[in-house]
A and B are shown apart, each in its own frame.
Chain A
Amino acid sequence: MPASTVQGPAPETQELWRRRLLRTLLYGQSVDRPAKSQARIGLAIAAFALCFSVIAGRLVMYAASDNTTVRRSYAADAVATARPDILDRNGEILATDVRMPSLYGEPQRIIDKDEAVELLATAIPDLDAAEVRERLSMRRRFVWLRREITPKQRQDVHRLGLPGIGFMHENKRVYPNGPLVSHLLGHVNIDNQGIAGIEKWLDSRGLADLHLAGLARDRLQRPVELAVDLRVQHAIRDELVKARTKYKALAAAGLVLDARTGEIVSMVSVPDYDPNNPREALDPTRINRLTTGVFEMGSTFKALTLAMALDSGRMNLNSMFDARVPLQYGRHTINDYRGQKRMLSMSEVFTYSSNIGTARMALALGVEHHKSFLRRLGQLDRLRTELPESAEPIVPRRWAEINTVTIAFGHGLSVAPLQAMMANAALMNGGFLIPPTFRKRSEDEAMQVATRVLKEETSEKMRYLMRLNAEKGTAKRADVDGFYVGGKTGTSEKVVNGRYARNKLLNTFTAVFPADRPRYLLLVMLDEPQAIPETHGYATSGWNAAPVAGLIIARIAPLLSITPRFDLPPAERLILASAPSPTRR
């Protein structure tokens, strides 16, 4: 301690240490030379110590922080952002990212343009030489020569050693199955941002924000699993494409819904497009008819009317309805297609698909009852799923009795087919309305979002009616031996210039299999199918949509692990007899 030697031992050192420190650093006049020099040295030591501690501190900070420079140089290369993979329910890849080299040129740095073009053409044979020459002649610093070349071509171009030619790696969204899952998946734009379907939904879940923050560049994002089954999707698309050519239809669509979980196992709408080539999606004939279009569902809607009648408790399967004469309502006459001209029981109303019978049923219950029932089944509000594209149902503004009459048999109310299937699932699965989803969902999860809309025994009777219709009604051609199919046909005339056109039909078919223990619902829709010799000049649903549904079920039921069962008793004994409450009064 140099200061203490100057001051000498003093009893008051403790009290004066502060003043003494000040004096050793900023010496006064009274201090002698050795003390001065020692104080100066002390000051120098303090200054240097400060400098070095700052340096040491910075070193520690650099060491502790991540090695950011390496990562940044790599990330700058990734022009388009990364997206998570999309898998089907079995883990098959539906969409994935692939890094593709892209070729660019810097025209100012190229020495001999003609030589460069010539050499590039040898490495990439299908390169448009004229276009490349034109691009390289532009007065710009950067021009794309070719987006997405193969690794082999990259190697070849690299070997040419041309100055002013370089590569940049980009993430490119790839859909290995082409048009197979198009409408469901949607597609991305050139910057890898989702602009339709599930891809857009992914972005809306916060991926877009991650992109903006520059965080979603990595491949380590968790893949998204969907409920769709690729094999089922293919089987349905294959059959629908065949059916579309066979019946010369404008369009065809198919949907498979899990009755117990609300999962959409398959959704096909042909004509579709290849998401690898999103320009095709702009064609308005290629829209997704199942969610983006609304349609008058025709006779398949009768199932809802019958369920309403049964659920009200005021009618049962043996209630009789007068179908002897057409129903006159103001200026309108409600007729049956090939009417029976007699009294029909409720089961017969369903199997003969009687418009008069269903209309009378709905009239007996009243407009308000009808309206609230359809609202309860979600038919009057827009159905929202993960898909951003959804259509609002077209509901009559003034709902008079005539509207109830026509809506009872599926005219005058246009809904999205997916929406109608959700209601049909509720009729089959014991009365639970489950919002459909494109993501995987277990039965327990489905029960948490489900609401009970029908009584258990109503659903039981509806299953009986659906099966009965396949046994001796209009759905006979859809019955596949072994899978106990139940179904309902629907043929509606399209509205052209405000009038129903006799020759422009929209045929639908809803099927449930197995009808005694429903697992899956199937919807087949054919837009303007034509009569062909094989159908004996008929173009109604029972002649085209129903057999297509049969073909589809025979193909997809084994894929959906439904064991075929043979020699089952008819619906009367298998479904009605097992009902928990007495069904016949």
Chain B
Amino acid sequence: MMRILNILVIAALVTAAAYVYKIKFESTRQAERLAKLRTEIRQEQDAIAALRAEWARLDSPARIQELADRHLKLRPIEPRQFDTLDRLPVRPPDLVPPDAADPIGSLLENPSVLELPTASIPQGRR
């Protein structure tokens, strides 16, 4: 009776020891992984910061202006070139339905479209 009990206790002890060892090993591994990930995150953050700084340098208005002057034929916008959306003329109606098989024929069938204006003059400014 006592011997069985002892054997059981020893078995339990060995199992417990093995289990604790496993947990300890696992936790060490996890801690190492955590440290590694932390370092990686820091490195990534540093890389992002460096790239953002580089981007800001490349994006600097002074540099863009210099490049534009050298390579483009664009000129600065003049105030007259701004306009509002509500002054945009409406799109003229289609003279020919887009799916017409014979465009000229459909024009002849419906001669009233020819009287529609084909261009527009903005209101208020001549």
Instruction: Indicate if B113 sits at the interface (CB-CB under 8 A).
Output: no
Instruction: Indicate if B6 sits at the interface (CB-CB under 8 A).
Output: no
Chain A, 194-227, contact with B by CB distance < 8 Å: what is the 0/1 string? Answer: 0000000000000000000000000100000000
In the complex, the answer to whether A99 meets B34 with C-beta atoms within 8 Å is: no
What's the nearest-Cβ distance from chain B to residue A94, in Å?
Answer: 8
Nearest A residue to B36, CB-CB = A70
A455 to B62, CA, bound (A): 43
In the complex, the answer to whether B79 meets A481 with C-beta atoms within 8 Å is: yes
**Interface SS majority for chain B:** helix
Residues of chain A with a CB closer than 8 A to B15's CB: none
A268 to B57, CA, bound (A): 19
**Which of B50, B52, B62, B82 is A234 in contact with, Cβ under 8 Å?**
B62
Tell me which residues from 86 to 132 in chain A have a Cβ below 8 Å from any Cβ of chain B.
Answer: 92-93, 96-99
In the complex, the answer to whether A92 meets B59 with C-beta atoms within 8 Å is: yes
In the complex, the answer to whether A98 meets B50 with C-beta atoms within 8 Å is: yes
Instruction: Indicate if A177 sits at the interface (CB-CB under 8 A).
Output: yes
Instruction: Indicate if A163 sits at the interface (CB-CB under 8 A).
Output: no
**Which of B49, B60, B76, B78 is A219 in contact with, Cβ under 8 Å?**
B49
In the complex, the answer to whether A92 meets B79 with C-beta atoms within 8 Å is: no
In the complex, the answer to whether A234 meets B61 with C-beta atoms within 8 Å is: yes
What's the nearest-Cβ distance from chain B to residue A85, in Å?
Answer: 8
Instruction: Indicate if A396 sits at the interface (CB-CB under 8 A).
Output: no
Instruction: Indicate if B106 sits at the interface (CB-CB under 8 A).
Output: no
In the complex, the answer to whether A74 meets B53 with C-beta atoms within 8 Å is: no
Q: A67-B31, A238-B65, A555-B76 are in contact. Are A177 and B50 (CB under 8 A)?
A: no
Q: A70-B35, A558-B79 are in contact. Are A96 and B49 (CB under 8 A)?
A: yes
- Taking residues whose C-beta sits less than 8 angstroms from the other chain, chain A's interface range is 20 to 34
In the complex, the answer to whether A177 meets B62 with C-beta atoms within 8 Å is: yes
Nearest A residue to B42, CB-CB = A74
A555 to B82, CA, bound (A): 13
In the complex, the answer to whether A93 meets B61 with C-beta atoms within 8 Å is: no
Chain B, 70-111, contact with A by CB distance < 8 Å: what is the 0/1 string? Answer: 000000111110101000000000000000000000000000
A99 to B50, CA, bound (A): 8
A235 to B62, CA, bound (A): 9
Instruction: Indicate if A57 sits at the interface (CB-CB under 8 A).
Output: no
A97 to B46, CA, bound (A): 9
Count of B interface residues, CB-CB < 8 Å: 29
**Which of B42, B45, B56, B82 is A93 in contact with, Cβ under 8 Å?**
B56
Q: A96-B49, A98-B53 are in contact. Are A178 and B79 (CB under 8 A)?
A: no
In the complex, the answer to whether A564 meets B56 with C-beta atoms within 8 Å is: no
In the complex, the answer to whether B53 meets A96 with C-beta atoms within 8 Å is: yes
In the complex, the answer to whether B82 meets A563 with C-beta atoms within 8 Å is: yes
Q: A178-B60, A219-B49 are in contact. Are A74 and B65 (CB under 8 A)?
A: no
What's the nearest-Cβ distance from chain B to residue A153, in Å?
Answer: 14
In the complex, the answer to whether B56 meets A176 with C-beta atoms within 8 Å is: yes
In the complex, the answer to whether A174 meets B53 with C-beta atoms within 8 Å is: yes
In the complex, the answer to whether B79 meets A554 with C-beta atoms within 8 Å is: yes
In the complex, the answer to whether B82 meets A564 with C-beta atoms within 8 Å is: yes
In the complex, the answer to whether A99 meets B46 with C-beta atoms within 8 Å is: yes
In the complex, the answer to whether A234 meets B65 with C-beta atoms within 8 Å is: yes
A97 to B62, CA, bound (A): 21
Instruction: Indicate if A231 sits at the interface (CB-CB under 8 A).
Output: yes
Residues of chain A with a CB closer than 8 A to B55's CB: 93
In the complex, the answer to whether A482 meets B80 with C-beta atoms within 8 Å is: yes
Residues of chain A with a CB closer than 8 A to B78's CB: 554
What's the nearest-Cβ distance from chain A to residue B35, in Å?
Answer: 4
A563 to B83, CA, bound (A): 8
Chain A, 240-280, contact with B by CB distance < 8 Å: what is the 0/1 string? Answer: 00000000000000000000000000000000000000000
Residues of chain A with a CB closer than 8 A to B46's CB: 98-99, 219
In the complex, the answer to whether B49 meets A74 with C-beta atoms within 8 Å is: no
A557 to B54, CA, bound (A): 29
A97 to B38, CA, bound (A): 19
A409 to B39, CA, bound (A): 65
In the complex, the answer to whether B61 meets A180 with C-beta atoms within 8 Å is: yes
**Which of A93, A238, A481, A564 is B53 in contact with, Cβ under 8 Å?**
A93
Residues of chain B with a CB closer than 8 A to A178's CB: 60, 62
Of B42, B49, B52, the most chain A CB neighbours within 10 A belong to B49
Q: A74-B42, A483-B79 are in contact. Are A563 and B84 (CB under 8 A)?
A: yes
| Chain B contact residues, CB within 8 Å of chain A | 31, 34-35, 38-39, 42, 45-46, 49-50, 52-57, 59-62, 65, 76-80, 82, 84, 125
- 8 A-B pairs (CB sep. < 8 Å): A74-B42, A99-B50, A176-B60, A230-B61, A238-B65, A483-B79, A554-B76, A558-B82
3 cross-chain pairs, A with B, having the tightest CB-CB distances, nearest first:
A482-B79, A234-B61, A176-B56
| Chain A contact residues, CB within 8 Å of chain B | 67, 70-71, 74, 92-93, 96-99, 174, 176-178, 180, 219, 230-231, 234-235, 237-238, 480-483, 554-555, 557-558, 563-564, 566
